[in-house]
Amino acid sequence: MKPYSTFGIVGFPWDGGASLGRPGSRFAPEKIREAFAWFANRIENNQVYNVEKRKTFTLPKNALTDYGNIEIAAYSTDQTFAQAEAKLKAVLADHAFPFVLGGDHSISYPLIKALHDQNPGKRIGIIQFDAHLDLVDESPVQGRFSQSSQMRRAIELEHVSAKDIVQVGVRSYNYPWYATYLKDIGIHQITAQEVHQSDPLAIAEQIKSVMENVDLVYLTYDMDVLDPAYAPGVGANEPGGLTPVQSFAILDALYPLVDAFDIAEVNPLYDHQDITTAMAARIMFDCFVARMECGENAQT
């Protein structure tokens, strides 16, 4: 597992790509930070105890760095995305593990591009947890850089192949052109129904097998991959999603592979009692401990 100097938090308060979904995710980064502090409060003397694993984890000093928010140019998607690329490249240059708090799901494209461009010639794999496919090319309403297009744009990068992408939790109905398009590009999909019918660790193994030949892995987690019962505050609700327990188990098996992570589509304006925000913060804290723990000091 690649060592990192720190766990680098970056806020991306942007919902300019929410052309069909509900806007409001620009308010998520600060809400997630607040919820994350609830978990971080349990750290004492650089140690934290995981009740479910019955294990105490020791964290290095200065394990957590908040790099602040990406500067937003509300009038320009191009300028905002360019500033996002520059910010993430600076975090990567600092040898930090980048954890980005969105923001609607359009945020992923400039972040994936930053990881791609910062590592010339490296093959980039993408793991996408999402109810939706986000492979729309463009439309008169949404343009080319909406929350429905970030994966389509990512595939256009030189060292990103559809065959190195896994979409987890996709479900419901979509445009009829997808039937042919998905067969042609060869993207890997594990539907929500397939997750429900399998074991989470078996699902994780499927994902790992796709990532075997890539150099770097980007993981993007759209909160609507969860069933609306567990994550009501998102850009669009799709019934039949994953449970938190399924999600935690799959993610836990994947954290050692991941080189950058974003959470998208937390929408505080549609949340109830901060349920969705708390879920996002728990995932963030799990990733933080997994990537920053001093393995040799872990105690059972």
Binding residues for Mn(2+) are 105, 130, 132, 134, 222, 224
CA dihedral sign of residues 244, 245, 246, 251: positive
In terms of Cβ atoms closer than 10 Å to its own Cβ (0-12, 13-18, 19+), residue 183 is: exposed
What is the C-alpha to C-alpha distance for residues 15 and 264, in angstroms, rounded to an integer? 10
Reported in sequence order, the residue ranges of 171-232 that DSSP labels E, i.e. its strands, are 188-191, 216-222
Cβ neighbours of 270 (radius 10 Å)? 17
CA dihedral sign of residues 32, 35, 37, 43: negative
**Token reading at 229:** 């019962």
Q: CA 12 → CA 40, 87, 208, distances in Å?
A: 21, 10, 28
Phi then psi dihedrals of residue 240, to 5 deg: 95, 20
The β-bridge relationship of strands 55-58 and 47-50 is antiparallel
Q: CA 259 → CA 3, 112, 127, 158, 221, distances in Å?
A: 10, 11, 11, 18, 14
- Residue 61 is classified by DSSP as T
Annotated binding site: 105, 130, 132, 134, 222, 224
